[in-house]
A and B are shown apart, each in its own frame.
Chain A
Amino acid sequence: MARSKDKGSQEVNAGSMADIAFLLLIFFLVTTQIATNKGLTLLLPPKQEDDEPIEIKQQERNLFKIQINSADRLLVEEEPLEDVTQIREMVYDFVLNFGAPSDKKKGKAEVSDRDVYESLPGSMRGYINRNLGSSESSDGPGAAIISLKADRGSSYDIFISILDELNAAYNKIYGERVGLTDEEFRKLNRNDPRQKELYDRARSGIPKAISIAEPSTVGG
């Protein structure tokens, strides 16, 4: 009995199809990027009305000044700084200083600095009591403002690394407040009500007050 000719139809040497598949896979892995929609978020201040000059005078102590000159050198609180990663710790200490926590209710959530202090976990309060509370640094998180001033000739690279450090400091504060690491806090999905509740609780009373000041045009 002659076999039907079905066996013949597999004449295509299909052993190399696996190789083709792998080549295509590797090609795509190398060339395309799975669309990254991640980045550092920032909320700009509202439009500057010409008839309302920025009169809000902040006390020196409530303002954490970071300046970048055109050679990408940093001046943090009037002192030169070499290592950008130290900014993280400095901002953490600055925001949580509670030098003179007020009872004035501020912001949408209507919390005062003292309420914020009460809401912090014991470990944070311990740290604040031991190391912070200086009258030369910020009065409280509601009043603390970070001012970042770049020269027009500074590079974008250093700006991003500083913004990264500022966000890191805030995320560490928010995370610690609700018992998460800064990474876990960042990954909170605001569409899930429980995670949103955590997120809101962490941020209440501590606004991310990063102000990008008008740049100077003088280099150096």
Chain B
Amino acid sequence: MSKFKKKSESSQDIPTAALPDIIFMLLFFFMVTTVLRETELKVEQRIPRAEQLVKLEKKKLVTYLYVGAPKDKSLGTESRVQANDAFIGIDGIVNWVSQEKSKLSENERDQITISMKVDEETKMGIIVDIQTELREANARKIMYAAPTKAKDN
């Protein structure tokens, strides 16, 4: 005679065996889609939004320049240019571009795109200087990175 337990099972009816799988799937999803930040941003970055954005074609051919006021206030409030973890001066841009170009293969070199992430408070003076230096270094394809602006109408 089996005694039936009067007390019903406590309410753990949700089959919980699948939950670790869900967590792993989420983890892999985020590992794949988000980008671990390679360079530590040393400048303020509130980038203005824009509508007419074009996606980058080849991620390999892109290199980033960050422009903005330094996060460390002791370095002043004037906008600085950061490339690959360190501040570079305007005159260092040409050398930096040739360094980046040398990381690519010969025929890809002239397709290098410089993506500039500029803080909204930056003044145009430094931007124009950077553009002049990029022209000197023959890196003519540039892109002003921006998040999408929601269309008002």
Tell me whether A155 is interfacial, beta carbon within 8 Å.
yes
Interface-forming stretch among B44-52, B70-78, B85-93, B98-106? B44-52
> Which residue on chain B has the smallest CB distance to residue A170?
B52
In B31-72, the 8 Å CB interface with A consists of 33-35, 48, 50-57, 59, 62
Chain B residues, Cβ within 8 Å of A119: none
Tell me whether A4 is interfacial, beta carbon within 8 Å.
no
Tell me whether A193 is interfacial, beta carbon within 8 Å.
no
> Which residue on chain B has the smallest CB distance to residue A156?
B122
**Are B120 and A21 interface neighbours, CB within 8 A?**
no
Chain B residues, Cβ within 8 Å of A123: none
A35-B34, A38-B146, A156-B122 given as contacts; is B57 within 8 A of A171 (CB)?
Answer: no
How many Å from the CB of B127 to the closest CB on chain A?
A: 6
| A81, B11: Cα distance in complex, Å | 68
Chain A residues, Cβ within 8 Å of B48: 156-157, 160-161
How many Å from the CB of B94 to the closest CB on chain A?
A: 11
**Are A32 and B34 interface neighbours, CB within 8 A?**
yes
Chain B residues, Cβ within 8 Å of A156: 48, 118-124, 127
**Are A190 and B57 interface neighbours, CB within 8 A?**
yes
Tell me whether A56 is interfacial, beta carbon within 8 Å.
no
Tell me whether A58 is interfacial, beta carbon within 8 Å.
no
Q: How large is the interface on B (under 10, 10 to 19, 20 to 34, 35 or more residues)?
A: 35 or more
| A46, B123: Cα distance in complex, Å | 23
Interface-forming stretch among A92-100, A107-115, A132-140, A146-154? A146-154
How many Å from the CB of B144 to the closest CB on chain A?
A: 5
In B110-126, the 8 Å CB interface with A consists of 113, 115, 118-125
Partner of B147, one of A25, A36, A68: A36
| Interface majority SS (helix, strand, loop, mixed), chain A | mixed
Tell me whether B8 is interfacial, beta carbon within 8 Å.
no
> Which residue on chain A has the smallest CB distance to residue B46?
A157
A14-B19, A38-B148 given as contacts; is B52 within 8 A of A47 (CB)?
Answer: no
A25-B26, A155-B124, A156-B127 given as contacts; is B144 within 8 A of A42 (CB)?
Answer: yes
**Are A36 and B145 interface neighbours, CB within 8 A?**
yes
**Are A182 and B57 interface neighbours, CB within 8 A?**
no
Tell me whether A30 is interfacial, beta carbon within 8 Å.
no
**Are B34 and A28 interface neighbours, CB within 8 A?**
yes
Partner of B143, one of A10, A39, A168, A191: A39
Tell me whether A163 is interfacial, beta carbon within 8 Å.
yes
A20-B23, A47-B135, A153-B125 given as contacts; is B33 within 8 A of A39 (CB)?
Answer: no
Tell me whether A159 is interfacial, beta carbon within 8 Å.
yes
What are 8 A-to-B residue pairs whose CB atoms are below 8 Å? A10-B12, A15-B14, A25-B26, A34-B33, A36-B145, A37-B115, A43-B141, A156-B124
B residues engaging A (CB < 8 A)?
12, 14, 16-17, 19-20, 22-23, 26, 30, 33-35, 48, 50-57, 59, 62, 113, 115, 118-125, 127-128, 131, 134-136, 138, 140-149
